[in-house]
Copies of this chain bind each other. A is one copy, B any other.
């Protein structure tokens, strides 16, 4: 079993990105899962080529992309990626697409194919705040998540993989400079990623438990 985990470079004036700091702390093996970590740029034109190259190189069974959701208090496993870019701020190359599809030939959305609810249950059992989220936003995180799942459906036989996206909170040192912002310690983000990978490696079917949102 091979897993690829990605994190993003810093953006929006931040000096660090917890998703990047976290994936650099992952071990090379997790039980019988071989882990590969890859860094993704916060640049619309570069992120999917880089992601595809990492997938081609790692030939993973599972891909978990991770990114920052500043202001959220919990690990957020994203349910769905939507086929739209609507950038509230410029990316790190200065591009700011508005209402442009991620993939002109793609469907309106993709659902994650990792067992989100089993992962959320395992995270909570380990004492980590976690939710299923119904929106990955419309910036680079959603773009990468959509691109990941678009790649997954086109994978050749023998290269099939399952995929998902995890949004992580600010690190405490980031939240220390933002009024009223929740945060999560790095150790817990790193532990959370490993729990998700272990659950994803062990289960292809998900739990049938409610984690929905009224609105």
Contact A214 B12 (CB under 8 A): yes
Q: Which of A85, A96, A173, A188 has the most CB of B within 10 A?
A: A173
* Cβ A73 vs Cβ B72 within 8 A: no
In the assembled complex, which residues on chain B have CB atoms less than 8 Å from the CB atom of A180? Answer: 73-74
Q: Which residues of the other chain, B, contact A62 by a CB distance below 8 angstroms?
A: none
User: Chain A: interface residue count, which band?
Assistant: 35 or more
A87 → chain B, closest Cβ, in Å?
6
Which residues of B lie under 8 Å from residue A68 when comparing CB positions? 215
A-B contact pairs, 11 of them (CB 8 A): A67-B215, A73-B182, A74-B180, A76-B215, A82-B134, A87-B212, A129-B175, A136-B215, A172-B185, A185-B185, A185-B187
Partner-B contacts on A (CB < 8 A):
12, 67-74, 76, 79-80, 82-89, 96, 98-99, 107-111, 117, 123-124, 127-132, 134-139, 141, 167, 171-173, 175-177, 179-185, 187-188, 206, 208-215
